[in-house]
Amino acid sequence: MSLDPSYVGRTYPPTAPYQVGREKIREFATAIGAADPAHHDPEAARALGHPDVVAPPTFPVVITMAATRQIVDDPALGVDYSRVVHGDQRFAYTRPVVAGDELVCVNTIEDITSRGGHDFLTTRTDVSTAAGEPVVAVWSKLVVRGEA
End-to-end Cα spacing for the chain: 13
Query: Could you report the per-residue pLDDT of 70-112, keeping only the tens digit for each?
Result: 999 998 898 988 899 999 999 999 999 999 999 999 999 999 9
DSSP-based helix, strand, coil % in the chain, nearest 5: 25, 35, 40
What is the number of domains present in the chain? 1
Domain that holds residue 130: 5-21+58-144
pLDDT of residue 1: 60
Residue 65 lies in a domain: yes
pTM over 0.75: yes
Per-position b or e across 15-40, b if 16+ CB within 10 A of its CB: beebebebebbbebbeeeebeeebbb
Flag residues of the chain having pLDDT under 50. none
**Which stretches of the chain are DSSP H helices?**
22-32, 42-47, 61-67, 69-72
Residue 49 lies in a domain: no
Beta carbons of 94 and 129 less than 8 angstroms apart: no
Residue 104 lies in a domain: yes
Residue 38 lies in a domain: no
